[in-house]
Every structure is written in structure tokens, then in C-alpha cells.
């Protein structure tokens, strides 16, 4: 047996210990089941839980909310930068640049040193929805919306993006989506954040690395493509025939796991429940019926479960968000998970430095340039 076995993608390797979330017969945040949190808690409570380790008291929650309100608006130099970036640049690229700029205006920074990573998170929780909202409306030439954190966090973020008040069902569904995406173990973006944090790099550097990762097509940015697949199936007029043809042609149906060994995502049931409620309320059962048909056939023939994007993309579509906002919305949600992992990494640090296996040429002798043919 070889001394250092090769595991592509570090598959099956336990790289760290964590108290933040567990994926085993369900998903828990700090020991609390995700289905209870998604249905009963507000996102800001869950953010506090992930960052501090315990659910907040009334007083702690009020203080946390007050900090968001008193953080203020986007710094003028950041607004100027958002205006200067060409309108065709992808929103996630803009977010990455914007977060990097926000580091220079964080009030917690003194003499070039960040005083508190938790306070950095609170600053970013207030700034990131504003940054996304400003850029989104700027590019469209629509009315810029002033930030308002006097509602729930989900309601405030909704208002900044859409300029109106959500219904009770819409706010509950949006709040649940934010909670569900807040953390999911050592996902690629979270691992990227922890690797950068392990070098002693500042929190903002680690967060920017996570943003770069979450924008990958194999991570959260696949949600837009999943919605395209569903709409194509609906437009075909026969979802069963459509998916069978895709399978026969050997095409991968986006939104599903690529291995039958992967279990069903524990977040799926909650998102599915809200998808059904929203589709009924909007009279958009055609897409929901098509999704059910495709899911059933993929399970029977391919023996694979849907990924979380299969449901999340529909939910945000039913809520009326443009597809280009899907990954930015998930980024706001996942921010608190990233920071919780960065803090945990910093408190019990170990530099990530895995081995690599060389598969290149054997050792060769150097030839001077005149001797090379």
C-alpha cells in the first residue's frame, strides 16, 4: 500500500474539525436542525447563532439589529467604483471587487489591523445587500433604493432588490432560503476561505477567495443553468419525453448529482415545500409538475437525487428574482457561514499544506539553447 494515497479533490479526507454545522442524517447548525431553524427562526437569529455559537436573547438580537441599522450607507468611493465598472461585467465579479474595496472603509480597522472578525461580519452583512442592490439598479437604470434595515433582514434585503414589501409567504420563503444556504459543512467556498485564513491572511482576503469559489459553475452559480433546463422542459410540452430523450442522448441533466452514491440533500424538503406553496399561489403549477416528473424519472433510471439548486432556482424564480441575482443572494446568505469558519480556523489554526503527486517527466539534463533542435 502506498504511503500517501491519492484522493482526487481530497474526497473522503477529513481536513478539519468543526462545531459549526453537521451533515449526517440531516443538517444542523450548532446542533439545531435546519428544518426547525428555517421554519421558526429569522435569518438574523441564525446569523448570530453561527457567528457566536448560541441563539441570541431579545437584548442581544436587538443590539445586533441596531448595529446593522447604524452601519450606514455604502462609502462614496465604493459607489464611485461601482459606477466605473462597465455594465457588462458579471455581478459576482463586481461583488468580489466591491468586498475587497469595503475592507478599506470598515470602521473596525485601526492602523491597518482589523480588530474583530465578528464585527467585520456585521459590517459586511449591512454593506453587501446594499452593494448588490446599488449595482443591480444602476445597470438597469432603475430607481436606486435606499437601504432600510428596520424590517426583518430578509424583508429589508427584498425591499432593496425589488422596491416593494413582500407578502407573508414570500418573506417566509425568502427567509428560509437565506437560512438554508448559510452553511453546508466544508463546501468548496468554505474550504477556500479556511485555507486562506490558515495562512494568517485578513478576513476580507478569505471572504474574497470564497466569493471567487462560489461563482464557479460547479458550485452555486449553476442555479441559473438549472432554471434554463426546467424552462426548456416546460416549453417542450412533455417533460417526461424531454428528460427521457436527454438520458438516451447521454446528456447530463443539470440540477442532479453525478453519482448515485450521494444521498438526498437534507435541505431539499424545506425548499420543495415552499416551491409548492409559491407555485400554487402564483398559478405556476406547470413548472412544478414538470420538475416532479423529471425528478421521478431521474431517480428511477439514473438513480440520482436532485442537488439543492434544483429547488432553490425555482424558489427564487417564483419569488420574482432575476436569475443573475441567484448567486449574489446565496453569497449574502453564506457570508455568515464563511466568517464563522474563518473565526474557528483562526482560533485553532493549522496551515493547510497537502501533498501533491508528481506525474511529469523524469529528471533530465539541461541543454544550452544552441544545442536544442
Angle CA 95–52–111, to nearest 5: 60
* For the chain, percent of residues with pLDDT exceeding 90: 73
Helix axes 285-297, 239-248, angle to 10 degrees: 40
Is the predicted pLDDT of residue 1 greater than 80, yes or no? no
Contact 118/51 with Cβ under 8 angstroms? yes
Any idea what DSSP says for residue 172?
A: H
**For residue 47, which of 336, 275, 299, 244 has the smallest C-alpha distance?**
336
Contact 224/324 with Cβ under 8 angstroms? yes
- pLDDT tier at 24, thresholds 50, 70, 90: confident
pLDDT at 224: 82
Q: What is the mean pLDDT of residues 321-335?
A: 95
**For residue 161, which of 335, 333, 330, 320 has the smallest C-alpha distance?**
320
**For residue 190, which of 163, 169, 211 has the smallest C-alpha distance?**
211
C-alpha cell at 88: 457588462
Cα separation, 4 vs 2, whole angstroms? 6
pLDDT at 150: 74
Is the predicted pLDDT of residue 116 greater than 80, yes or no? no
Mean pLDDT of the chain: 90
Count of C-beta atoms within a 10 Å radius of residue 307? 21
Specify the higher pLDDT residue, 215 or 47. Answer: 47
367 φψ region: left (φ > 0), alpha (ψ -120 to 50), beta (else): beta
Cα separation, 9 vs 23, whole angstroms? 19
pLDDT tens, position by position, 127-170: 999 999 999 999 999 888 887 777 899 999 999 999 999 999 99
**For residue 204, which of 18, 345, 338 has the smallest C-alpha distance?**
338
- pLDDT tier at 121, thresholds 50, 70, 90: confident
Any idea what DSSP says for residue 32?
A: E
Helix H segments across the chain? 34-40, 43-52, 58-70, 76-84, 91-102, 117-140, 153-162, 168-180, 188-198, 203-214, 223-236, 239-248, 268-282, 285-297, 309-318, 326-347
Sign of CA dihedral 215, 217, 222, 228: positive
Contact 67/60 with Cβ under 8 angstroms? no
Is the predicted pLDDT of residue 232 greater than 90, yes or no? yes
pLDDT tens, position by position, 106-115: 887 654 555 5
Domains and CATH numbers, the chain: 32-217+322-347 (1.10.580.10), 222-318 (1.10.230.10)
Q: What is the mean pLDDT of residues 83-89?
A: 96
- Which range is least confidently modeled, 19-28, 47-56, 100-109, 203-212? 100-109
Q: How many CA atoms lie within 13 A of 170 on its CB side?
A: 18
pLDDT at 18: 95
Contact 78/101 with Cβ under 8 angstroms? yes
pLDDT at 264: 87
Cα separation, 152 vs 172, whole angstroms? 10
pLDDT tens, position by position, 282-311: 998 999 999 999 999 999 999 999 999 999
Amino acid at each position: 500500500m502506498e504511503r500517501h494515497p491519492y484522493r482526487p479533490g481530497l474526497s473522503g479526507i477529513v481536513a478539519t474539525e468543526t462545531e459549526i454545522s453537521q451533515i449526517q442524517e440531516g443538517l444542523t447548525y450548532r446542533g439545531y436542525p435546519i428544518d426547525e431553524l428555517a421554519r421558526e427562526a429569522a435569518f438574523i437569529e441564525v446569523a448570530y447563532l453561527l457567528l457566536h455559537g448560541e441563539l441570541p436573547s431579545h437584548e442581544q438580537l436587538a443590539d445586533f439589529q441596531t448595529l446593522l441599522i447604524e452601519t450606514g450607507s455604502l462609502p462614496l468611493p465604493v459607489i464611485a467604483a461601482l459606477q466605473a465598472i462597465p455594465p457588462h461585467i458579471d455581478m459576482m465579479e463586481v461583488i468580489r471587487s466591491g468586498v475587497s474595496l469595503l475592507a478599506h472603509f470598515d470602521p473596525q480597522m485601526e492602523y491597518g489591523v482589523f480588530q474583530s472578525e465578528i464585527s467585520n461580519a456585521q459590517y459586511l452583512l449591512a454593506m453587501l445587500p446594499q452593494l448588490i442592490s446599488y449595482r443591480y439598479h444602476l445597470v438597469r437604470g432603475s430607481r436606486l433604493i435606499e437601504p432600510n434595515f428596520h424590517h426583518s433582514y430578509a424583508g429589508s434585503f427584498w425591499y432593496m432588490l425589488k422596491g416593494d414589501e413582500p407578502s407573508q409567504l414570500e418573506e417566509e420563503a425568502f427567509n428560509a432560503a437565506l437560512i438554508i444556504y448559510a452553511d453546508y459543512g466544508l463546501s468548496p467556498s468554505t474550504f477556500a476561505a479556511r485555507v486562506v485564513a490558515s495562512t494568517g491572511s485578513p478576513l476580507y482576503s478569505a471572504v474574497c477567495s470564497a466569493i471567487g469559489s462560489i461563482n464557479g459553475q460547479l458550485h452555486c452559480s449553476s442555479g441559473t443553468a438549472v432554471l434554463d433546463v426546467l424552462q426548456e422542459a416546460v416549453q417542450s410540452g412533455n417533460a417526461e419525453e424531454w428528460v427521457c430523450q436527454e438520458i438516451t442522448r447521454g446528456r447530463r441533466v443539470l440540477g442532479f448529482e453525478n453519482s448515485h452514491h450521494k444521498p438526498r440533500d437534507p435541505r431539499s424538503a424545506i425548499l420543495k415545500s415552499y416551491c409548492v406553496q409559491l407555485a400554487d399561489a402564483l398559478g405556476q403549477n406547470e413548472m412544478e409538475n414538470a420538475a416532479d416528473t423529471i425528478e421521478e424519472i431521474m431517480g428511477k433510471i439514473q438513480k440520482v437525487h436532485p442537488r439543492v439548486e434544483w429547488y432553490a432556482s425555482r424558489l427564487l424564480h417564483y419569488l420574482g428574482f432575476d436569475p443573475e441575482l441567484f448567486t449574489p443572494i446565496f453569497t449574502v446568505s453564506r457570508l455568515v457561514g464563511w466568517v464563522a469558519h474563518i473565526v474557528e480556523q483562526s482560533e485553532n489554526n493549522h496551515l493547510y499544506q497537502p501533498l501533491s503527486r508528481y506525474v511529469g517527466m523524469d529528471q533530465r539534463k539541461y541543454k544550452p539553447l544552441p544545442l536544442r533542435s
